[in-house]
Amino acid sequence: MQLNHSHPKLNFVKLYSLYASFVAADTFAWSLGYLYFYKQGIPFEWLFIFLLIIFGTIYLLVINSSKYNIRNMLLFSFSTRIFVLLLLSISFTKLLFYVIALLQGIAIFAYWVAFNTMYFRIPNNKNRAFLTAVYFLIFPFLGLILPTFAGSIAERYGYSLLFLTGAIVMLIPLILSFYIPSIEIKFDAHSAAVRHKKVKTLLILQGIYESVPLGAIPVFILLFIKSELNLGLFLSYLSLAAIIGSLIIAKLSDKYHSRKIFIYPLTILLAILTILLGLNSDNIYMFILLSGILSTIGVLVAPFFITIIFDSYKNITEAVIAREAMLSLGRFIGVLIILVSFSLLRTSSYAFIAIGLITLLYPYLVWKHKIYKK
């Protein structure tokens, strides 16, 4: 079933209000999640197992799905997230740690598949660049303030209030979900995931790289920072770097009217910076500096990462399904590399270096398969 485009502005306002309120609640509630678990006695290895459960759950759910109702998925996702935050605000046990990982994986699957299916049906050729830009910008802009605020709350009043407040704020997107159209989507997940094998490989490689900003950096920064407020400041710093990146890409797009010419240097730079992180992983100043630069470059390259999918798939639902499945598989592989490397060698260095070298395959395959000819 296709989304009615007769009122794209109305659809955009509804969806973006839901999106912004969700990102705000999630950023506030979970910015300090790894630090909280670490202070509860959870070792680094378990934090990566937590991520493996999340990404593995998302992949299995996506690849074994065939239909869903968008409104019901959103309602389920936000209800599950509120339940998890309420659990954390009351108590914590190590068994609960794994239950939360499973519930988070289910909730992430339910939200992003449903939301992206709706959101990327709205753009046309005239406004696609704008809608893609605002899609990515919400994270760094909210991330500029909320992690530091969350750190201040947790340090002064404790994590229970932080999680409880996050649950209350999460009620906003839950309520807004009732105003989203009840649309049933049907698809063949396996067929969608393998339809474009070249793009499938690129998505897996992207996912492997993304295990660095999603997992390695937020976890390994705990080797240096153990204060809630300081961690919040660090995460806000990463968001500021990302905002700078978004301003740069906007300027470059206006000047050259194309982002395609930047994909090779940007992805090579991502790989080199990741390798440099590995070579400097025991130096807090270099770690913070390189993480910030990586955040800037990550925003520069993000629009290309998403454009390549929707340029390859005519069917929006198939594009979303393929993207979510292959990204989750790639992230799972990336986190597994980090876990094995850290467990065996007791250092983060080799994980960063290995993923950086793997990331170099991305620009090579884009060139080899002539994904972008211009």
Burial of 344 (0-12, 13-18, 19+ CB in 10 A): exposed
Tell me the C-alpha distance between 60 and 96, whole Å. 21
* Tokens coding 72: 């019901």
Tell me the C-alpha distance between 246 and 191, whole Å. 34
Note the pLDDT of residue 189: 85
Half-sphere CA count of 189, side-chain side, radius 13 A: 17
Highest mean pLDDT among 9-18, 114-123, 364-373: 114-123
Note the pLDDT of residue 258: 59
Top-confidence residue, 95 or 151: 151
259: pLDDT strictly greater than 60: no
For 277-332, write each residue's pLDDT tens digit: 999 999 999 999 999 999 999 988 888 888 888 778 878 888 899 999 999 999 99
Query: What is the band of 257 on the pLDDT scale with cuts at 50, 70, 90?
Result: low
Query: What is the band of 38 on the pLDDT scale with cuts at 50, 70, 90?
Result: very high
Residue 129, C-beta contacts closer than 8 angstroms, at least 6 positions apart: 253, 303
Percentage helix, strand, coil, to 5, in the chain? 80, 0, 15
Give the residues across from 184 on adjacent strands.
Answer: 69
Domains and CATH numbers, the chain: 8-368 (1.20.1250.20)
Query: What is the band of 251 on the pLDDT scale with cuts at 50, 70, 90?
Result: confident
210: pLDDT strictly greater than 70: yes
pLDDT average, residue stretch 163-183: 96
For all residues of the chain together, what is the average pLDDT? Answer: 90
Query: What is the band of 254 on the pLDDT scale with cuts at 50, 70, 90?
Result: low
* Tokens coding 35: 């630090």
Query: What is the band of 253 on the pLDDT scale with cuts at 50, 70, 90?
Result: low
pLDDT average, residue stretch 9-28: 88
